[in-house]
Structure 1
Amino acid sequence: MSGAGFAGPPTSDEERVVLHVDMDCFYAACERRREPTLRGKPVVVGMGYEAGEPHGAVATASYEAREHGVESAQPISQALEALPRAETAPDDHDGPVGHYRPVDMAYYREVSDEIRAILHGVADAVREVSIDEAYLDVTDRVGWHSVEVFASSLKERIDEEIGVPASVGVGPNMSVAKVASDYDKPDGLVVVEPAEVREFLAPLPVEELHGVGPVTARELRGMGVGTAGDLASADRDALVSRFGARGGTIHDHARGRDPRPVEPVGKPKSLSSESAFTEPTDAFDAVCERLLRLADEVVERTESRDALYKTIGIKVVRPPFDVNTRERSLSGPVADADLVESVVLDLAEEFEGETVRKLGVRVSNLTFAEGTQAPLDEWEGEREGGVGAEDGLDEGEARSEGPDRDDGRSEHDRPADRARGQTTFVDFT
């Protein structure tokens, strides 16, 4: 949507420009990135599912699979009735078939980390709410006159660099942006300017509003409230009496109000920066130059947050998506820009002569409390990693795993800390 803007002095909400980035059928999209031949075909990703077996449940289904009745949380056995497995369908079967894959959280986290690096590079404030969903406050970077171009470029970058589609909603707050990103899935882009919010929301069913689930929607309809417009016009006191404080919250959301700031959930566990080459390169000088620039960006971010770090690492992605990570850890936290540069270049030596598609630098095991730095020559050792790494979240809050859904309720977990000095797989952005 677009509009003529607002009249009169802007409120704080009208000054904010918030994006909600939601990956479409994320697990299925990751499988298609890994197997490009699956593009355009029905893909079903199952939890508790093993290849060729009928047990487990659907974690996500591509839109092509949904057209044939396959839905999230559905038993795999039921999904197979609607979409027989492609590998075992009879030769004379002339109906649709599905391509079934087991959940591979390690790989999905790797892809999510690459997306996360892009998001943190284009916004000063990012709130990651799941493996496939985040809010961005870009108020200080872009205005309403140019936000559509900004959001479109972000979508294109994610698609081109990462290889998975995203839907983006833009609004003056998180609630409106969330509704906007759901409005035109898949691969959608909807911009709702401040002056358009009430008109945009009014005709939507109440369950389309952020914070209104199926049970609440049924209760609201029992009260004669079926649309967001109905909810916006409803008696606030009656809603609070029926639903408690949440009644006031959903009433605000129906009116396009949401005062919550876009901020990280909890303190970051690591800080990182990534950059992709326009064309893969084997020029080691160019690799080192890019790594030093990324190191400077990461150090600047740690200094702005008064953070110390115990672990320094790099990420090297070789074509097409061969992810390799190396990191070293001190016996205690430090803050030393020269040390970061030295370690980064030392770790990079292993990849001299390799063709590189993308690079990353990360500092982790962060400490925010004041304290004494550790001696700079006490190393725990070097760790190695590659594709299939499971290091979980870089920034934000650890979450439990769950089905991958387009409503943003998919979540993920972070494994326990690694043992001192142990060689292990790692991954980061």
Structure 2
Amino acid sequence: MSGSRLPGTPAGEERVVLHVDMDCFYAACERRRDPTLAGEPVVVGMGYEAGERHGAVATASYEARAHGVESAQPISGALAALPRAATAPPDHEGPVGHYRPVDLPYYREVSEEVRAILHDVADAVREVSIDEAYLDVTDRVGWHSVEIFAGSLRERIEREAGVSASVGVAPNMSTAKVASDHDKPEGLVVVPPDAVREFLAPLPVDELHGVGPVTARELRSLGIETAGDLASTPRDRLVSRFGSRGGTIHDHARGRDERVVEPVGKPKSLSSESAFTEATDDVEVIRERLRRLADEVTARAESRDALYKTIGVKVVEPPFDVNTRARSLSGPVADASLVESVALDLAREFEGERVRKLGVRVSNLSFDAATQAPLDAWEGESPPPTSAEDDADDGPGGTERGGDPEGQTTFVDFS
């Protein structure tokens, strides 16, 4: 396609933006925990236990969706479409579903593993929910090799975190999001700058970022069926009907989005993680990797002028047995040698065990240097291991689809 450079973007300055969206994330986490669920219909939700009268589906695997189970559906409808395997009568011959309760602390733990990978490959990461994020990798990769880069990222997420993702690549956020939804699951769609309008034009309007079901119905009532129709509609007509949002969706249909990929608010924790090619019990190899991770995470904290009160490690044993340990100071500090020392000490508990992945994290962050505490003020000699709930406080949080990651969590996954 010729002459389709994004309006207002100088030659050679097109951004390279990725949208990473996990595939049926809650169900994928349950499969990671129980590999026997691979390929089976999995439904994560509430209200399917005997005696419970109300509930809803949080997410359904693609196999479950094939039998009519959908996210946000009443659990009664899901059970009618796909009986629960645990309670199906012995003579039942049709398909059955494997129902699991929502376990947000565990999902946040897995999400944090994915988040660590994203921050390792990109300098600018905007986490918009527990299972999706935008990355600006302009300074790391060019358009000539971004497909290889994105494919490697997707493979790394599956290899190290045990869940799958779809990745969309485009010169702006809204188009990248459309691209990541375009070929789910495990999709990889790259939309170069000169192909944005061509890619968007034939798509139904409800596939555009920012166009929900109600807006889509209104647009269709105006004879606007596709993104191409929307792009060719006079802008003032859309603004008159939808207000400023009309201008926004008009821009998105034309491949325009001036938003910058930047974090939402200040982080609650910083971490660095690394997986071994093969699990190892070599103490020196493990300790050297911990030293490198401690150096990486303290460098990131220093670059953000962040102090930290809690120092922790993550030790993952095969296949995905996650162990976390942490210690806290009486106040926030910035001390790289202390982080290394504490990380090595915490990991001693696992000496002799085979390890497939390691992580170092600093949390309970402060961004005021005046609050730095004395370095000899520990809160207790040997605090107990952090629980999944404690880890969740530092996790990505947020709504499953859009919204502020510091806001309340809802249990609906539309990936």
| TM-score (ref. length: structure 2) | 0.92
Identity fraction in percent: 76
Post-superposition offset of 1:165: 1.2
1:421 counterpart residue number: none
Structure 1 residues 52-63: aligned runs within 5 Å: 55-63=54-62
* C-alpha distance in 2 between matches for 1:337 and 1:92: 63
Structure 1 residues 156-235: aligned runs within 5 Å: 156-235=155-234
Does the Cα contact within 8 Å between 2:72 and 2:412 map onto a contact in 1?
no
Unaligned runs of 5+ in 1: 408-429
* C-alpha distance in 2 between matches for 1:13 and 1:235: 30
1:304 counterpart residue number: 303
Post-superposition offset of 1:390: 4.2
Post-superposition offset of 1:336: 1.4
Question: 2:405 aligned with 1:406, yes or no?
Answer: no
Does the Cα contact within 8 Å between 1:13 and 1:259 map onto a contact in 2?
no
1:149 counterpart residue number: 148
* C-alpha distance in 1 between matches for 2:327 and 2:277: 29
Q: How well do the aligned residues superpose, as a CA RMSD in angstroms? A: 2.2
* C-alpha distance in 2 between matches for 1:125 and 1:238: 36
Letter in 2 for 1:202: A
Alignment CA distance shift 1:5-1:299 (3 Å): farther
Post-superposition offset of 1:180: 0.2
Residue deviations 1:255-275, cap 9 Å, x none? 111111111110011111001
1:45 counterpart residue number: 44
* C-alpha distance in 1 between matches for 2:226 and 2:173: 19
Post-superposition offset of 1:277: 1.1
* C-alpha distance in 1 between matches for 2:296 and 2:115: 15
Post-superposition offset of 1:89: 2.1
2:280 counterpart residue number: 281
Does the Cα contact within 8 Å between 1:27 and 1:404 map onto a contact in 2?
no
Question: 2:256 aligned with 1:248, yes or no?
Answer: no
* C-alpha distance in 2 between matches for 1:90 and 1:57: 23
Unaligned runs of 5+ in 2: 398-404
1:113 counterpart residue number: 112
* C-alpha distance in 2 between matches for 1:302 and 1:387: 24
2:351 counterpart residue number: 352
Alignment CA distance shift 1:366-1:51 (3 Å): farther
Post-superposition offset of 1:53: 5.5
1:422 counterpart residue number: none
Letter in 2 for 1:401: T
More displaced, 305-314 or 46-55? 46-55
The 3-state SS of whatever aligns with 1:169 is strand
* C-alpha distance in 1 between matches for 2:308 and 2:3: 45
Letter in 2 for 1:378: A
Letter in 2 for 1:255: R
More displaced, 94-103 or 136-145? 94-103
Alignment CA distance shift 1:386-1:341 (3 Å): closer
Does the Cα contact within 8 Å between 2:326 and 2:386 map onto a contact in 1?
no
Post-superposition offset of 1:37: 1.4
* C-alpha distance in 1 between matches for 2:275 and 2:194: 38
The 3-state SS of whatever aligns with 1:365 is strand
Residue deviations 1:318-370, cap 9 Å, x none? 22222222222222221111221222222222222222121111111111124
Structure 1 residues 27-42: aligned runs within 5 Å: 27-42=26-41
